[in-house]
Amino acid sequence: MAAAIEVRSISKQFKLYHEHYTSLKERVIHYGRIPNEPFMALEDIDFDVEAGSTVGLLGHNGCGKSTLLKCVAGILQPTRGEIVTRGRVAALLELGAGFNHELTGRENVFMNAAILGLSKKDTELIFDEIVAFSELERFIDMQVRHYSSGMYVRLGFAVAVNVEPDILLVDEVLSVGDEAFQRKCIERVKKFQDEGRTILFVTHAADLVRRICDRAVVLDHGKMVIDGAPGEAVRVFRESLHGGELNETEEPRDAEVPEDASVEVVASKREVTHRVHITNVTIDHPGLRLNRNWMLPDEAMTIRVGYHASERTDDILFGIAIHDENGNHLFGTNTRILELDVPPADGDGEMSFEFHRVPLLDGTYLVTLAIQSSDEGTVYDWREQQARFEVMNPSRTNGLVSFPIDVHFGDTRINLAEGTGA
């Protein structure tokens, strides 16, 4: 299939100025001699976007995603290389981009549609659809400088998707606005996909990439790291954020129990005695033996905790909690809750938490570990979200938790795990 977008070895260089002259006199005196240094925002980026496909651009803040999208849209010209687009391009690049704040919403609709190549007559035919999609009927004749950020997004996206573009460029807008409007945007994107339109969008939402993308391109400090399947691209994106270190072994450090520590692990704010302290933490799972740092959904996992007791301690409890990257508490327990007898700690020792299956989908998860007295009144040591593990979901199933599921058609049962009928 022919490429709708061809990005051929493009680089984009900016100048970083360290001195800022505000007066006309200073500018004239220093004209052409203002100290600056070159900054490569993009370096040798090369990929194609096939017609009818949806491609996501992933990367940390400042990696060049938005710059690349602006180059594709023609707003910026690359320093080197070439970009070819085939078909009408509609771009929604940033909040309020292309709006004149002194004009009304109605006037901005016609102005933006004209920029995208529509005549006034054509715009009149779709005007009601644009307003209905944006849900701004009451405010369409108000100056847009009075609009909220959510209203900007609604109107801009409504114009972009209703001019029937061959190529839609979107920068972060799919994650802006209220939940209902986000659903509406996703539904329209899926309709575009069904119609065979081409979509290139910037996002930080890994789950969104899995749900709607055919491929994803990951950028890191202006360079392309990978152009691949959504699951693999998300994994590389997360590794670039975390430096690729998914297991952790650290020396103990002095600390105080934080105010928001998990109650299952650290019950109250008290001084950490280090009478029994954690010496190392390792996370083991089947992927490590296959040269991959991530787990698959429902694989087993063992978290081993090495510890040292400076003196024999009979009254001891081990606790664990797991959070996602947004701080949501997913799981917490300790040896008292599990009604386990813990042997006295004396010198060096090791204990482990064994999970027979981890029913999580895509994400990076943070582990808190603690050693306390059995009544949780004394804190010997704790590690608040210092260890982590990653789960990579190879399918397009979305969400947070992996639920076992079979599908039945009459007397035929399809086991999705095995992909066979019974």
Proportion of the chain above pLDDT 70, given as a percent: 82
Quote the pLDDT of residue 26.
Answer: 63
Per-residue pLDDT at 266 exceeds 70: no
Of 358, 356, 347, nearest in space to 391 by CA = 358
Quote the pLDDT of residue 265.
Answer: 39
Q: Place 62 in a pLDDT band, splitting at 50, 70 and 90.
A: confident
The answer to whether the CB of 386 falls within 8 A of the CB of 250 is yes
Residues near 197 by beta carbon (within 8 Å), at least 6 away in sequence: 52, 165, 166, 167, 168
Q: Is 6 exposed, middle or buried (0-12, 13-18, 19+ CB in 10 A)?
A: middle
Of 226-235, 254-263, 314-323, which range is least confident? 254-263
Q: How far is CA 310 from CA 31, 132, 169, 252, 363, in A?
A: 69, 70, 61, 13, 37
Of 27-41, 59-73, 289-303, which range is least confident? 27-41
How far is 143 from 114, CA to CA, in rounded Å? 19
Per-residue pLDDT at 351 exceeds 90: yes
Quote the pLDDT of residue 148.
Answer: 83
Measure the N-to-C terminal CA separation of the chain; round to a whole number of Å: 38
Of 163, 231, 222, nearest in space to 41 by CA = 222
Helix (H, G, I), strand (E, B) or coil at 110: helix
Residues recorded for the chain: 422
| Choice between 207 and 84, residue whose per-residue pLDDT is larger | 84
Quote the pLDDT of residue 23.
Answer: 66
Quote the pLDDT of residue 9.
Answer: 93
Q: How far is CA 302 from CA 67, 289, 317, 358, in A?
A: 43, 13, 18, 10
* Mean pLDDT computed over 206-215: 80
For residue 16, what are the β-bridge partners? 37
Of 70, 151, 61, 155, nearest in space to 108 by CA = 155
* Mean pLDDT computed over 268-272: 53
Per-residue pLDDT at 196 exceeds 80: yes
3-state per-residue secondary structure call for 281-320: EEEECHHHHHCCCCECCCCCEEEEEEEEEEEEECCCEEEE
The answer to whether the CB of 297 falls within 8 A of the CB of 361 is yes
The answer to whether the CB of 133 falls within 8 A of the CB of 56 is no
Structural domains for the chain: 3-242 (3.40.50.300), 247-422 (2.70.50.60)
The pair of structure tokens assigned to 59 is: 């990367």
Q: Place 420 in a pLDDT band, splitting at 50, 70 and 90.
A: very low
The pair of structure tokens assigned to 265 is: 């692990």
Quote the pLDDT of residue 354.
Answer: 96
Quote the pLDDT of residue 133.
Answer: 87
Per-residue pLDDT at 95 exceeds 90: no
Count of helices and strands (H, E) across the chain: 8, 19
Of 180-189, 332-341, 366-375, which range is least confident? 180-189
Plot region of 404 (φ>0 → left; ψ -120 to 50 → alpha; else → beta):
beta
Per-residue pLDDT at 73 exceeds 80: yes
* Mean pLDDT computed over 161-187: 77
Per-residue pLDDT at 418 exceeds 70: no
Helix (H, G, I), strand (E, B) or coil at 323: strand
Distant-in-sequence contacts of 333-337, Cβ < 8 A, 24+ apart: 333/264, 334/264, 334/265, 334/370, 334/372, 336/374, 336/376, 337/264
Q: Place 21 in a pLDDT band, splitting at 50, 70 and 90.
A: low
The pair of structure tokens assigned to 68 is: 């690349």
Per-residue pLDDT at 163 exceeds 90: no
Of 70-74, 104-108, 158-162, which range is least confident? 158-162
Quote the pLDDT of residue 414.
Answer: 67
Q: Place 177 in a pLDDT band, splitting at 50, 70 and 90.
A: low
Residues near 1 by beta carbon (within 8 Å), at least 6 away in sequence: 50, 51, 52
Mean of the per-residue pLDDT values of the chain: 81
Proportion of the chain above pLDDT 90, given as a percent: 37
| Choice between 267 and 55, residue whose per-residue pLDDT is larger | 55
Per the listing, tokens 């994107």 go with 189
* Mean pLDDT computed over 379-392: 88
| pTM across the whole model | 0.60
Q: In this structure, is the dihedral angle defined by the CA atoms of residues 198, 204, 205 and 210, taken in order, positive or negative?
A: positive
| Choice between 116 and 17, residue whose per-residue pLDDT is larger | 116
Quote the pLDDT of residue 308.
Answer: 95
Q: What is the pLDDT of residues 331-342, one digit of tens each?
A: 999 999 999 999
Per-residue pLDDT at 5 exceeds 90: yes
Q: Place 39 in a pLDDT band, splitting at 50, 70 and 90.
A: confident
- Which range has the top average pLDDT, 30-44, 55-69, 246-260? 55-69
Q: Is 75 exposed, middle or buried (0-12, 13-18, 19+ CB in 10 A)?
A: middle
Of 35-49, 51-65, 108-122, 168-182, which range is least confident? 168-182
Residues near 379 by beta carbon (within 8 Å), at least 6 away in sequence: 257, 266, 270, 271, 272, 273, 370, 371, 372
The answer to whether the CB of 196 falls within 8 A of the CB of 184 is no
